[in-house]
Structure 1
Amino acid sequence: MIKQILGTALIAVLGIILVMNMLNMNKESSTNEYDVTGDTEAEGVAIGPPGSSGLEVGELSPDFELKTLEGETIRLSDLLGKKIMLNFWATWCPPCLKEMPEMQEFYDEHGDEIEILAVNVTGSEKNEQAVHDFIDEYSYTFPILLDTAMNVSDEYKAITIPTTYFIGTDGTIQHPRKAGPMTYEFMEEMLEELN
């Protein structure tokens, strides 16, 4: 009888230890966060492996050609001579959603002074229709480009989204990339500093 009680107690203790270990493993896996940007101030969502801080100031912006939501083709090199804000984003990215209303306000106020190209990392979306539905729901009017193969996102090393580059009239990157959501004030400051 004592052996049965000790055996049952031992099984109960082992069961409790097993449950505690499983709970601890779940807790650890749900709270681990890794900064892949190298920027301790960055807010965003990682969509790729670490290894780069993005394109450098002074580098020529890699040319690309992407379709817009409306089916038009935009080639970056066709915009040479204009100031450009190149933003990488996704519908499932909370920091991206946080900055988009301010991007719309900025576009409404300064759209004649700077080209805003919002490149959706479409290859990471549920489907392309999700992008259309999102833009329609919030009535954003700045150009939305679809990076379905994610080649442009890769070339610009947009491993954290949102990521934004500011390109000058000479086609070069003129400021360090901005990883994380932008404010209206930040966008105005960048516009004033672009040439």
Structure 2
Amino acid sequence: MKKNLLAGGIILVALVIIGVNIWKGTPTAQKDEAGDSTSVDTPVQQVDSGVEEGKLAPDFTLTTLEGEKVNLSDYRGKKVLLNFWATWCPPCKAEMPHMQEFYELNEDGAIEILAVNLTSVDKGDKKIQEFVDDYGLTFPIPLDEGGDISELYQAYSIPTSYIIDSKGIISKKIIGPMDGEMMNSLMEAVD
């Protein structure tokens, strides 16, 4: 049953990724000199957000579910698993027990998990707190209430995770759920 749920979640994520890529590649309308809309055959230009492998992860400040301010830059010197998720997301639900187990196995402080909730598209703080309690999550849950950070980090399908090294450099972007073994291998590959 769990394998079927995970497989279904992975298929759903793949379909969302395809849909987003098709949507982002659709032509847009522009106004000509007379102010009339005209069709343009070129895809929408993407703004370079600076979020890519090999670059410094853009800093942000968010408030956690507990009301504490979190800055990504405060975690320099540690490896960071930056995860974007929501309570209604089946692959996120499948991934959370693995993240909690991974977090508990790495309580020495060299690795940190920041699980950013997409609060702007979720079901409210009460549902988020219920989710955290149900899954026994003990890592920080920053709330992206305006959706700006998930947009900056291009979390168009969730879960989306970034592996950030101890110098703050993005090592890897992962779209879709991970298990503990994958988290371990990705974190071992960075300084």
- TM interval, shorter chain, is 0.7 to 0.9
> Do the aligned partners of residues 33 and 89 (structure 1) sit closer, same or farther apart at CA in structure 2, a change above 3 Å counting?
closer
Does residue 95 of the first structure (1) align with residue 91 of the second (2)? yes
Q: Contact between 1:61 and 1:167, CA under 8 Å: does it hold in 2?
A: yes
Deviation at 1:191, TM superposition (A): 1.2
Between the aligned partners of 2:78 and 2:59, the Cα distance in structure 1 is: 14
Deviation at 1:62, TM superposition (A): 0.7
One-letter code aligned to 2:142: L
Tell me the matched-pair count: 154
Choose which of 173, 176, 181 in structure 2 pairs with 1:180. 176
Q: Larger RCO: Structure 1 or Structure 2 (Cα < 8 Å, ≥ 6 residues apart)?
A: 1
Between the aligned partners of 2:82 and 2:55, the Cα distance in structure 1 is: 14
Choose which of 120, 134, 137 in structure 2 pairs with 1:137. 134
TM score, norm. by length of structure 1:
0.73
Q: Contact between 1:89 and 1:121, CA under 8 Å: does it hold in 2?
A: yes
1:100-135 deviations in Å (ceiling 9; x for gaps): 001010001013220100000000012121101111
Q: Which has the higher strand share?
A: 2
Correspondence 1:18-167 to 2 at 5 A:
35=15, 37=17, 50=24, 55-112=51-108, 113-167=110-164
> Do the aligned partners of residues 34 and 188 (structure 1) sit closer, same or farther apart at CA in structure 2, a change above 3 Å counting?
closer
Between the aligned partners of 2:125 and 2:134, the Cα distance in structure 1 is: 14
Deviation at 1:136, TM superposition (A): 1.4
List alignment gaps of at least 5 residues for structure 2: 1-11, 26-45
Deviation at 1:50, TM superposition (A): 4.1
List alignment gaps of at least 5 residues for structure 1: 1-31, 39-44
Q: Contact between 1:36 and 1:50, CA under 8 Å: does it hold in 2?
A: no
> Do the aligned partners of residues 36 and 59 (structure 1) sit closer, same or farther apart at CA in structure 2, a change above 3 Å counting?
farther
Deviation at 1:181, TM superposition (A): 0.4
Question: Match for residue 39 of structure 2?
Answer: none
> Do the aligned partners of residues 171 and 132 (structure 1) sit closer, same or farther apart at CA in structure 2, a change above 3 Å counting?
same
Q: Give the fraction of aligned pairs with identical amino acids, expressed as a percent.
A: 48
